[in-house]
Amino acid sequence: MNPIDRAGPDAARPGAERFGAARARLAALAFARDSLLCREARGFSTARQDLFLATYMAMRLIDDHVDHLVDVDRGWQSPALGAIDGWQRRVQAAVDGRIEPGAEGYEEAVLVLLAGTVPPSPLDGRAFDALARAMRRDALGQPLRSWQDFLDYAEGATVAPTFVFLTLLALDGEARRLPARLRLERLWQRARPMAVYCYLVHIVRDLAKDAAAGPHLLTIPGELFADLCADRQALARAILQGDQPVTGPLARRLLERLHTLEPEVAAACLAIQPQLSPESRASLGRIIEHYGDRARQIAVQSGMAGPAAGIR
C-alpha cells in the first residue's frame, strides 16, 4: 500500500504514482544540497528517508522563503506573515493526513510526502509550530537583543529541525516506533544543546557570508556586540571590512558561548546513545564530530585554541 493511503478517510488519496513523483522531486532537491544531514540521510532505511525528505524539505520551504526577504518586506505589513500562516495551516493538515488543495510544484510535493509519512510516525506538529514562530519573528524584523532572545528564536530556527532529525535517528526502520522509554519531550530536551551548539558554529563560520547577504541574517544577540558597534547594519559593515577590533572580540564571545555548551552536548549525546541503533549512533557521532572539529578550527584561527577546544 502506498504510505499516503494510510492517512485516513478525509485525506486526498493521490496514489502510488503521485507519491513516487513527489518523493523523486524532493530527493533530487535535498540530495543536491551540500548538507551534512542530507548526506547522513542517504544511509537511512527507505521509510525513514521518506520521512526525512518530507520534514526537511517542508522546513526548508518556509525558511528559504523568509531568508530571501528584503528589508522592505519585513515588519508588521510583511507579506511573508500570510505566507507563514498558510504554510503552517497546510503543513498541519498534511501532518493530520490531509492535503489541502491549491498547492503546486515543490510545495505540493512536500505536502504529498508529509501526508504519506508523518501520520504513521510518532511525529506531530510541534516542530513546525516552533519553526513558524521563529519565521514570524524574522518576517517582523524583531531584533535579538539578549541571549534569551536568541535562545527563544533558536527553539524554532534550530532546535525544531534538530529534534526532528534526532527523532529520525531513534525511529525503527519502518519509521513508526520509538524505543519504549523514549518520549518526544525528552528528545526535544536532548536536541536543544546540540542544536544551539551547531547553530553557533554555523554563525561564527558564516559571519562574512551572512553579512554580505544582509544584516537580517546575522542572528547574533545584540548584547554580544552592543559595545562594539552601533547596530546590526554597522556590524555587517565591520565584518565585511575585516574590522578586527569588532570581529575579533565578537568571534571570541561566540566561541566562549560554544565552550559553555560543550558539557551539555556531551551529556545529551551520552544519554541518547543507548536508545539508538549502532548505525544511528555512528551517524550522530559523525555529526557531532564534524561540528566539534569545525569549532576547534575556528578557535585556532581566532587564537583561542585553549578555551574553545570543541567536543571530542
The pTM assigned to this predicted structure is 0.91
> Mutual orientation of helices 126-140 and 79-95 as an angle, nearest 10°?
180
- Would residue 138 count as lying in a domain? no
Q: Do 15 and 96 sit in the same domain of this protein?
A: yes
Q: Do 157 and 82 sit in the same domain of this protein?
A: no
Q: Do 91 and 167 sit in the same domain of this protein?
A: no
What is the per-residue pLDDT for 69?
A: 81
b/e burial code for range 264-283 (CB count within 10 A of at least 16 → b): ebbebbeebeebbeeebbeb
234: exposed, middle or buried (Cβ count in 10 Å: 0-12, 13-18, 19+): middle
Model pLDDT for residues 241-274, shown as the tens digit of each residue:
999 999 999 999 999 999 999 999 999 999 999 9
Q: Do 155 and 291 sit in the same domain of this protein?
A: yes
| Domain housing 112 | 1-123
- End position of a domain, from candidates 90, 123, 156: 123
- Would residue 132 count as lying in a domain? no
Q: Do 155 and 112 sit in the same domain of this protein?
A: no
Q: Do 182 and 305 sit in the same domain of this protein?
A: yes
Cβ-proximal residues to 173 (8 Å cutoff; 6+ apart), any chain: 45, 47, 48
Instruction: Kindly state the cell numbers that stand for 61.
Output: 520551504
- End position of a domain, from candidates 63, 91, 123: 123
- Would residue 56 count as lying in a domain? yes
- Would residue 133 count as lying in a domain? no
C-beta of residue 112 within 8 angstroms of C-beta of residue 105: no
What is the per-residue pLDDT for 311?
A: 54
Q: How far apart are CA 100 and CA 22, in angstroms?
A: 15
CA-angle at 189, arms to 116 and 267, nearest 5°: 125
Q: Do 151 and 119 sit in the same domain of this protein?
A: no
Q: Do 310 and 186 sit in the same domain of this protein?
A: yes
- Would residue 129 count as lying in a domain? no
C-beta of residue 312 within 8 angstroms of C-beta of residue 264: no
Which one, of 163, 243, 157, lies nearest residue 203 by Cα?
A: 157
Low-confidence ranges of the chain (pLDDT < 70): 1-14, 72, 304-312
What is the per-residue pLDDT for 70?
A: 74
First to last CA, the chain: 44
What is the per-residue pLDDT for 56?
A: 98
Which one, of 171, 208, 303, lies nearest residue 249 by Cα?
A: 303
Helices (H) and strands (E) in the chain, counts: 13, 0
What is the per-residue pLDDT for 72?
A: 66
Q: Do 79 and 157 sit in the same domain of this protein?
A: no
- Would residue 159 count as lying in a domain? yes
- Would residue 245 count as lying in a domain? yes
What is the per-residue pLDDT for 103?
A: 87
Count of the separate structural domains present in the chain: 2
- End position of a domain, from candidates 91, 123, 155: 123
Q: Do 160 and 114 sit in the same domain of this protein?
A: no
Q: Do 219 and 309 sit in the same domain of this protein?
A: yes
- Would residue 137 count as lying in a domain? no
Q: Do 64 and 193 sit in the same domain of this protein?
A: no
